[in-house]
Amino acid sequence: MRIAICEDDSYFLNYSSKIIQACFAAYQPDCVIDSFSDSSILFKTLTSHNLHYDVLFLDIDMPQIDGITIGSFLKKAEADAFIIYLSGREDLVFDTFETRPFSFLPKNQFQQKIRSTVASVCIACQQKQTLVSFFIGGTHYQWDLKKLVYIECCNKTIYLHFTDYALELCYQLSALEQKLTNYGFIRVHKGYLVNYRFIFCIEKNFILLDTQEQIPLSKHRATYVKKEFIRLTV
């Protein structure tokens, strides 16, 4: 994971960089953080060097190029980076909406909110991944999450239903749930894990998928499933 921090206040840049580094270390020990005190250098890095960042912390009010301009460039370039704006002016939050930031972090609340913000963005980065690798029973598997629709457990056998094929495994559904929860899979029934990306709608006692398949929805899981689906899609 590569992270950029752009802040023209050198004191706050040094202060925030150390805290952000420590927070990410708990989730991504091998992350690389680049700090910029000059927004024009960051902009040149993005436009000329074609360097990709997974997460960018951008001050809004900067003398060379403001953070919203950089965010607008990333949006127009269809970059899939997560943008977190930092500002001492909370009145600017509405100006950022067009760039669809991941979060807006007021500087006077930085210390209180940075840990939860980093935790949330790390989960979002995991969910954005489409290829995941697992070792199961000594065998290495690599699955494309864009194609894994749902997982079914029947008579202690696991069936993974992809858009173009199915895979059968001897494994525990609860173990797969632990591996896939942070990638956007929801336990909707004791026998089913569903990829939220394929949910078309949630009915009273079943989930309708984009594939037109119906997956049973446990009554006692219904509230949790709806909350998770909203959290993942908003």
At 198-211, the pLDDT tens digits run 999 999 999 999 99
Cβ atoms 81, 74 nearer than 8 A: yes
Give the model's pLDDT for residue 78: 63
C-alpha pair distances (Å), 179 with each of 56, 126, 196: 27, 11, 15
Interaxial angle between packed helices 39-48 and 67-76, expressed in degrees from 0 to 180 and rounded to the nearest 10: 10
Q: Per residue in 81-111, pLDDT tens?
A: 899 999 888 888 888 888 888 999 999 999 9
Q: Which residue has the tokens 């009554």?
A: 219
pLDDT at 58: 95
Spatial contact of 80 and 88, defined as CB atoms under 8 Å apart: no
Q: What is the pLDDT of residue 80?
A: 79
Q: In the chain, what are the domains?
A: 2-128 (3.40.50.2300), 131-233 (2.40.50.1020)
Rounded Cα–Cα distance for residues 222 and 220 (Å): 6
CA distances from 3 to 42, 77, 99, 134, 180 (A): 12, 18, 18, 26, 24
> Which of residues 66 and 77 earns the better pLDDT score?
66
Q: Is 147 helix (H, G, I), strand (E, B) or coil?
A: coil
Structure-block tokens of residue 1: 């994971």
Distance in Å from the first CA to the final CA of the chain: 23
pTM of the model: 0.60
pLDDT, tens digit, 9 for 90 and up, residues 11-61: 999 999 999 999 999 888 788 999 999 999 999 998 887 678 889 999 998
Per-residue pLDDT at 130 exceeds 80? no
Provide, for the chain, the percentages of residues in helix, strand and coil under a 3-state DSSP scheme, each rounded to the nearest 5: 40, 30, 25
